[in-house]
Every structure is written in structure tokens, then in C-alpha cells.
Amino acid sequence: MQRDDEILTLEEVSEIFKVSTKTILKILREEDLPARKIGREWRFSRQALFQWMAGGHSQQYIHDENQVKDYFDQIAPQYNEQRRVVYGDSLRDIIFGHVKPEKENVVADIGAGTGYLTLELAKKAKRVIAVDNSASMLSVAKSEAVKAGLSNIDFLEGNAEELPIKPMTIDLVFANMLLHHVSDPLQVFKEMYRVLKADGKVLITDIIEHEHNWLRQEKSDLWFGFNKEDLAEWLKEAGFAKIQIKEAGCDCCTGTNDGSKTVRIPTLMAIGQKESVKPGHRNG
Ligand SMILES: C[S@@+](CC[C@H](N)C(=O)[O-])C[C@H]1O[C@@H](n2cnc3c(N)ncnc32)[C@H](O)[C@@H]1O
């Protein structure tokens, strides 16, 4: 039986609300979530927490993360078919034309989905770490990998804002069409920086800023695309250098689920590099 005066850890609260510990920390910073810090650890009273939730503090972050995860869990079986209409194989060729995985590289695909980049990466690199928070999307990717005879992929269920990857272990990190589904893109860039080795590169592709607000309901988009300035600023703030932001030269063709409306949205590509450790600076 659960007691009302039960004290919970950060990890337990994250488990209860099914969102990352990073999201809970963000709510702690930005909202009046009741908690106490004891030493370096946060402690939460179960009773105070549930009273706070019941008081109408239904947090947008919690709702958003769960909504996106449910959406992808649900569409996973049809995702590949839909994706072929939204963007074809040409985007992948453009991506690997800009940042080329080498045979000895360990690479990561964040928001890997059903394996659009993952499978090609596995043919080019030594090992691929594919991270996604939707178990159903990863399960499709896993069976595609088996069909293709690829055994050098680690599929990890996890959050892009809190990557389940050790620091400084990755040569190249990719994310295609992930960013507009996450609450905090800057945090994703910070995590990518953390897991990259010195001189490692990040390449993300995502849609350009647009006004099609209905994509929130229809496709669980949290961001209506991005502009070049924000992407550059976030990459810089996360620690990246040699930043390049450009149009990828390939549109996303998306639409309402009933097919009544379709739109073409240009894709942006953002590249950055984690520079080698400078004397007197910490890297990682
Ligand atoms: C539009 S799909 C793109 C999938 C794949 N990269 C591709 O190009 O086909 C976005 C993917 O990001 C995943 N995703 C969304 N939010 C995430 C998060 N916070 N952490 C990890 N994965 C996330 C979704 O489950 C989904 O598989």
C-alpha cells in the first residue's frame, strides 16, 4: 500500500510521470513544483506532488512528451509507408554527402525511428547506437535490421534530452526530423555534445519555420519548424564550433491525416563540431 507521506526520489517521480528526469528538473526550475533539496538530491512528497498536479498544474512538458511518444507508438506500423511520401531517400543521400561516416566510426542516430538513417549508417560504420523513446518505432527498426542482415546496431529506448550513451564515445551523431518533436532542442544539442568524442560532428536535419499550426494535432509536432539563427545559437550554446546552417535542398511533403491538405516545407541542415580539448578547458 502507498503511504501519503511517502518521500520520492527524482527517478521515482520521473517513472510516475513517464517523462525524463531532465523534464522534472526543468519543471523544478521553471514552475513551483513542490520539492526539497537534501544535499545534492531532490526529494518529493508524494502527497504534495499529487495535490500540486490536482491543482491544475497539468504540466505542458509532461503532456507533450507523452503525447509524442503515444503518437509514434501508434503509427509505427505505418510509419515507413508515410515517410516515403514525406521525404524520400534523397534526403539521406544529401545528409551523408555532408558528413560521411567512416568504416571505423561509432555513430549515433537520435530519434532513429524505424531506421531511415540507422540502417544506412550500419552499412557504412563500425557500430551504430540507435536511440528512440518509442519502443514500437524501434521494434520496426529492429526487424528491418534483421531483414537486411545488419548486426552492428545497438537499439536503445531512451530520451534525446537524456541520452543513454556514455560521454565522449561517439564519432558522429545524426538526428533527422527529431527536433520538432522534443520539448527542449538546446538540451538535445547539449546531450549530443556530451556523447561526442573531441573532433566529433553533429548533423541534424529538420523543417524550416512554418505557419501550419495544425501539424501539432495531426503529427504531434511541438515546434513549427526552426529558423537558422536559433539553430546556430543553440549549437553554439551547447559548445559546438564550425557551425554551418543551410537549406538541405529537399522538401518535406506532409499533410492532414484525412488527406484534405498537403504542404511542402523546406528542410534545414545544421552541422557542428566538438573541438579538441583546449588547455585549461574541460571537455565532455
Ligand atoms: C519524425 S520521426 C523521424 C524518425 C527517423 N529519424 C526518420 O528520419 O525517419 C521522429 C522520431 O523521434 C522520436 N522521438 C520523439 N521525441 C523523442 C525524444 N524526446 N527522445 C527520443 N526520441 C524521440 C519518435 O519516436 C520518432 O521515432
Q: Can you tell me the mean pLDDT for 33-38?
A: 82
Contact call for residues 110 and 189 (beta carbons, < 8 A): no
Query: What does the pLDDT look like over 145-162, one tens digit per residue?
Result: 999 999 999 999 999 999
Same domain, 86 and 163: yes
Ligand 1, atom 14, lies closest to the CA of 111
In a domain, 163, yes or no: yes
Task: Based on the fold, state whether residues 176 and 137 are members of the same structural domain.
Answer: yes
Same structural domain for residues 154 and 218?
A: yes
CB of 116 shorter than 6 A to ligand 1: yes
Both 33 and 73 in one domain: the answer is: no
Sign of CA dihedral 178, 181, 186, 192: negative
Q: What is the CATH number of the domain that holds 17?
A: 1.10.10
Residue nearest to atom 7 of ligand 1 (CA): 116
Task: Indicate whether 117 belongs to any domain.
Answer: yes
Q: Please tell me whether residues 81 and 11 are part of one structural domain.
A: no
Rounded CA-CA distance 259/218 in Å is 11
Q: Averaged over 233-244, what is the pLDDT?
A: 97
User: Which residue CA neighbors atom 26 of ligand 1 most closely?
Assistant: 113
Domain count, the chain: 2
C-beta separation of 163 from 136 below 8 A: no
Q: Which tens digit of pLDDT belongs to each residue from 189-210?
A: 999 999 999 999 999 999 999 8
Give the model confidence (pLDDT) of 107-145 as tens digits: 999 999 999 999 999 999 999 999 999 999 999 999 999
- Compute the distance between CA of residue 16 and CA of residue 5 in angstroms, rounded to an integer: 16
Distance 5 CA to ligand 1 centre (A): 38
| Cα distances (Å, whole numbers) of residue 185 to 81, 223, 237 | 27, 10, 11
Looking at the structure, tell me whether residues 79 and 216 fall in a common domain.
yes
CA–centroid distance, residue 142 to ligand 1 (Å)? 15
Q: State pTM to two decimals.
A: 0.82
CB contact at 8 A, 84 and 169: no
Q: Quick one: cell of 109? A: 542516430
Domain span holding position 206:
64-273
Domain boundary, last residue among 62, 94, 111: 62
The mean pLDDT of the chain is 89
Based on the domain organization, do 173 and 234 belong to the same domain?
yes
